[in-house]
Amino acid sequence: MTGDSAPRDGFNSKFGVIAAAAGSAVGLGNIWRFPYVAGENGGGAFLLIYVGFILTIGISVMLAEFVIGRRAQRNALGSFKKLAPGKPWWLIGLMGIVAAFVILAFYSTIAGWTFEYLIQAIGNGFSGKSTSELNQMFADFQTSTFRPILWQLLFMVFTASIILAGVQKGIEKYTKLLMPLLVLLILVMCARSLTLAGAGDGVAFLFKPDFSKISGTVILEALGQAFFSMSIGMGALITYGSYIKKDNYLPGTAFQVALADTGIAILAGVMIFPAVFAFGMSPEAGAGLVFQVLPNIFEAMPGGYIFGVLFFLLLSVAALTSTISVLEVVVAYAIEELNMSRKKATIVFTVAISFLGILATLSFSELSDFEIFGNGIFANLDWLSANLLLPLGGVFIVIFLGWVLGPKAIADEVTNGGSRKMRLFKAFLFIIKYVAPIAILAVFLYGIGVFGK
């Protein structure tokens, strides 16, 4: 059965909604990206601003996407076609679908790295290696051909197999298992990290703000991380919003998802920074923090073998909960707009995304000399999504909700037809109409280098 001939799938429980939406938001952005961005931008000062942006803007934009999706009960593109028929607002949805396609192509490269390092950890591959040897190990793997592609494709197969099963039997079922596992693993890792000698310096770095570190760049980095972390602008939250039942209280769900997302990002900092400081490493190690610095720490840490395996298992699970949501954006579009079956849509777009993903992976090896605008394929896909498609999508989404959909329709969704109250409704509208567009536009201008860099 294809298109509208099949009954529309959806989430069956409130916990399923929170697990799936939090799984979409919680990923490598929290556990890989947040610690190194926080490390590069002053730790505690960055964290304070980041949490402030999540509470004031992030939750509101997440709620806006939920409202659009549930109001329309359609995919990211179809939602705008239904809510604004005959007008070009559907281009926002198309932008989200393109963003999802591009993001999954290069994200699956990094996700594949987590599998490689999980296998290395299980095989005790870090044992006896010096810092320079571990750094060389990462460089050798990254610039090789076969293994990075193998792991990347395996990760796409895992993702596709869950999407094939549908929303309830696939996405909801597996995220309800994966998210508690993720939280359990990260709590175990935090407990170990906090018991290391010298861990207090890492805790202070993360939670004791040094206000002299705050600059325009730090503020914009925190704002950008808030949007990146919460999966805003790529259509995932609109798509998941369309699967949420009408009796679900959307403001409460958005708050709980944001709380889970932010909590796990902070726990990632608690897990990583005490260990980094305990072993005299630099918190400003950048993107290599997870794949180059942490194996050094596991090698030197008592019980490091076990915790190395747990950490890279955790990283793999986090990546998988995100790739599920990103692939679903594209598959939902194909089912409802191209009239494909779920099976055909999943296979066709998994193959297409994997092809682009292989090119991104090869940009570190065979295609390292192939550059567009001075950057390789991986870097261009990353830049295109993070600096162009996501912020522009986010801007147009909040403009659409605040200025096109109208307060009556919004109120109907956030109050469940008037049966629930939303005390901060006026504040929410103000943020969506005025604050969020300016804030996201600032991230966009910063990302393309107009100011701040």
User: Is residue 303 classed exposed, middle or buried when 0-12, 13-18 and 19+ CB atoms within 10 A define those classes?
Assistant: exposed
**Residues 188, 397: Cα–Cα separation, whole Å:** 38
Degrees, nearest 5: CA angle 410-232-34: 140
Determine the residue type at 35. P
DSSP letter string, 259-307: HHHHHHHHHHHHHHHHHHHHTT--TT-GGGIIIIIHHHHHHHSTTHHHH
At a CB cut-off of 8 Å and minimum separation 6, what does 417 contact? 246
* CB of 244 closer than 8 Å to CB of 85: no
pLDDT digits (tens, 9 = 90+) for 187-202: 998 998 899 888 999 9
- For residues 193 and 199, the answer to whether their CB atoms sit within 8 Å is yes
pLDDT confidence of residue 4: 43
> What's this model's pTM, rounded to 2 decimal places?
0.92
pLDDT in tens, 103-134: 999 999 999 999 999 999 999 998 888 878 88
Which CATH topology does 3-447 take?
Amino acid/polyamine transporter I (1.20.1740)
pLDDT at position 222 is 87
Burial class (CB in 10 A: 0-12, 13-18, 19+), 227: buried
Of 5-9, 211-215, 230-234, 381-385, the one with minimum mean pLDDT is 5-9
DSSP state at residue 114? H
The fraction of the chain above a pLDDT of 70, given in percent, is: 97
Spell out a b/e string for 53-81, using b for 16 or more CB atoms within 10 Å of the CB, else e. Answer: bbeebbbbbbbbbbbbbbbbbbbbbbbbb
Q: Are the C-beta atoms of 252 and 18 separated by less than 8 Å?
A: no
**Which residues make beta-bridge pairs with 375?**
372
What does the mean pLDDT of the chain come to?
Answer: 90
Return the beta strands (E) in 355-450 as ranges: none
Asked if residue 3 has pLDDT above 50, the reply is: no
pLDDT (mean) for 415-428: 92
Measured torsion, CA atoms of residues 286, 155, 260, 99, in degrees rounded to the nearest 10: 80
